[in-house]
Amino acid sequence: MDNLRGSILMVLAMAGFALEDMFVKQMAGALPTGQILIMVGLGGGLLFWLICLTRGEGLWHRDALQPMVLMRNACEMLGTVGYVTAVVLTPLSSASAILQATPLFVTLGAALVLGETVGWRRWLAISVGFCGVLLIIRPGLDAFEPASLFAVQGVIFLGLRDLATRRIPPGVSSMRLSTYGFLVIAPAGLVLMALAGDALVVPGTTDLLRVVAAIVVGALGYFALISATRIGDMSHIAPFRYTRLVFALLIGVAVFGERPDAATLTGAAIIVGSGSYAAWRERQRQRRASLEAATLL
């Protein structure tokens, strides 16, 4: 039942994130990227802080100083800046397709950092999946879009964020983690505005509504993601991340008139196929381990 709930929460999280991406991209023409990050970060942080208060959880707690929480917040900040920049500067479909390599990167990190066992088949799946990323980016070719590298930045640091989340003690509140995760985006937006030399822009009514909508769906998706990561087996719930690509493709075509080319669609299919196979192999490994343990008992 934990895996079932985790899977449902993961699909809901991906739907929320895809809608959040849509609102962010719609605001990009009128507002600086850094300002969008500031507004969404502060708005989402305030929302989760109010929820924490209703549950009797204070914002400031020694949990915030735990090494894994600090690492998670740093990775959240760098990963979000990279991915949001990619959403603003590149087609939503291609940015989202590249982001689908995150579960493969998590598997890679679990093997290299956490010491988890990864067989040769999953190593092969990881390699093939990253080839799919290269097919979308196409470095060295005329179709290469340098801004796509921001999506790769998102993959790396959001993957590290998920690995750090797995190492955080269960007693640390998901609501408090969500609050921290949003709040750290705001200073990142300030730095981005300073580097770009952007000035604050007063948003119009439409963009204000988009900001509110982005905060609400993003906050709901964010909490669902944390909850799914903490209650379900990663190998079971990871494939459901790929539903974000389906939502993003539909939004890209219907809202922004995007027409992904064959290379992008092929690369996305390779990433999804490789990630799904790697997750399936992990489930098989866990099932065999459980049977062996039951036999010994």
pLDDT at 254: 94
Mean pLDDT value across residues 161-184: 85
* pLDDT tens-digit readout, 214-250: 999 988 887 788 788 777 676 677 778 788 889 999 9
Of the two residues 141 and 172, the one the predictor is more confident about is 172
Mean pLDDT value across residues 170-180: 82
Of the two residues 285 and 41, the one the predictor is more confident about is 41
Average per-residue pLDDT in the chain?
Answer: 86
Query: pLDDT band at residue 116, thresholds of 50, 70 and 90?
Result: confident
pLDDT at 247: 92
Mean pLDDT value across residues 33-54: 91
Q: 100 and 271 in contact (C-beta within 8 Å)?
A: yes
Is the per-residue pLDDT at 282 higher than 80? no
Of the two residues 207 and 142, the one the predictor is more confident about is 207
Q: In terms of C-beta density within 10 A (0-12 exposed, 13-18 middle, 19 or more buried), how is residue 150 classed?
A: buried
Mean pLDDT value across residues 86-109: 88
pLDDT at 234: 67
pLDDT at 193: 93
Mean pLDDT value across residues 143-165: 89
Phi then psi dihedrals of residue 208, to 5 deg: -65, -40
Mean pLDDT value across residues 114-130: 81
Query: pLDDT band at residue 294, thresholds of 50, 70 and 90?
Result: low
Of the two residues 239 and 212, the one the predictor is more confident about is 212
**Distance from C-alpha of 276 to C-alpha of 268, rounded to nearest angstrom:** 12
Q: 125 and 275 in contact (C-beta within 8 Å)?
A: yes
Mean pLDDT value across residues 180-206: 91
Mean pLDDT value across residues 23-27: 94
Q: What's the sign of the alpha-carbon dihedral 126, 128, 130, 132?
A: negative
pLDDT at 235: 64
- Which of these, 237, 268, 269, 236, lies nearest to 13 by C-alpha position? 237
pLDDT at 114: 72
Task: Tell me the percentage of the chain whose pLDDT exceeds 90.
Answer: 38
pLDDT at 256: 92
